[in-house]
Structure 1
Amino acid sequence: MEHRALRFDPPQITLHESPVGTLYLKYVEDVSKSNQGGIKHCRRKAVMHYANAENPQQCHIRMLQEYTSLCPPEGKQNAFYLQPRRKYEESAKICFTKQPMSQNSIQPVVPDLFRSAGIVGNFENHSRRVTAATSLYEHDVDEQLIMKRIEHRSVEGNQT
């Protein structure tokens, strides 16, 4: 549902520049009454992804800019994931319709990405957080940094 609710306007993903000139994307989630602690006590989750200068082909900023350039300008409002066009318009360079993808279309995307990357297992959208935490732990990243990144409040939560 989080992916289905992602939208361009009002933007949840914005482009920023750090004080040292590094570009990064910042995702800020919507506040919901289902957030832990209730709506009065919840903080909006904010996640930053920095530009990948070493490997521009895998840079989130470049990928987002390319994706948005292929979307119709008038369609980038209520949804982030737009349905692909059946016929590509070479002259217009528009690959997506104004219509949002359905939840059934979005759901298999993450498991397909895992399979394409050669990661074997039964994965769902939540699995990417667990996989990221495991990978960081295996590469000796500091547990406090892992906790911050995946938003666990205790070391025990990291180890589950």
Structure 2
Amino acid sequence: MDTPQLLLDTLVYLLGLNFALRAGNDHKNLRWTNPQLSLVSSKTGEESLRYTEDISKTNQGGLKSRKIKRKVVFAFPNTTEPRRCLIRCYKLDVQHCPQRKPDAFYLRPLTKPKGDVWFTSTPVGINTLRDTVGRLCAKAGLP
């Protein structure tokens, strides 16, 4: 990734594409404590990124839905287009973020990265995430 903003945009795009995160709220609800995203390895050593669905409108965690299994989806390495590999982007994000004090997954990109630190410790706001999702959808030709 060339810039922190490009890494942020790519993560929003690839996470939305692979795990059906549609709106800014879906992205805003990603967190580090009790995470929905985790890097896992198979018995053969192949890495994948696991997404576990959070409680939602249709699965609110009440008595009626306690037996409903949350959706678990895996993303695997993209070896044909490494720049579009979600696992690679996820690792870059982890590598270039400062210690995550807030519980937000997405942090604001620095306009001028400082060495290995590309992001502030301030979370990206919901309006910025909505605008990013909208902008990426428009670029892709989606309504």
Say whether the fold is shared (TM-score over 0.5): yes
For structure 2, the residue ranges without an aligned partner over 5 or more in a row are 1-24
Residues in 1 aligned to 2:91 and 2:44: alpha-carbon distance in whole angstroms? 22
Residues in 2 aligned to 1:31 and 1:113: alpha-carbon distance in whole angstroms? 26
Large movers: runs of 4+ above 6 Å = none
Residue of 108, 111, 114 corresponding to 1:89: 114
For structure 1, the residue ranges without an aligned partner over 5 or more in a row are 123-160
- Structure with higher Rg: it is 1
Q: TM-score, normalised by structure 2?
A: 0.69
Per-residue displacement from partner, 1:39-95 (whole Å, max 9, x unpaired)?
3232211110011122222111101011111110243x50101112244223xx212
Residue of 17, 22, 28 corresponding to 2:41: 17
- State the match for 1:46 in structure 2: 72
Aligned length: 117
Change (3 A) 1:104 1:15: same
Q: TM-score, normalised by structure 1?
A: 0.63
CA RMSD of aligned residues (A): 2.3
Contact 1:6 1:80 in 2 (8 A): yes
- State the match for 2:129 in structure 1: 106
Residues in 2 aligned to 1:48 and 1:40: alpha-carbon distance in whole angstroms? 23
Residues in 2 aligned to 1:67 and 1:84: alpha-carbon distance in whole angstroms? 10
The percentage of counterpart residues that share the same residue type is 33
Residues in 2 aligned to 1:33 and 1:114: alpha-carbon distance in whole angstroms? 23
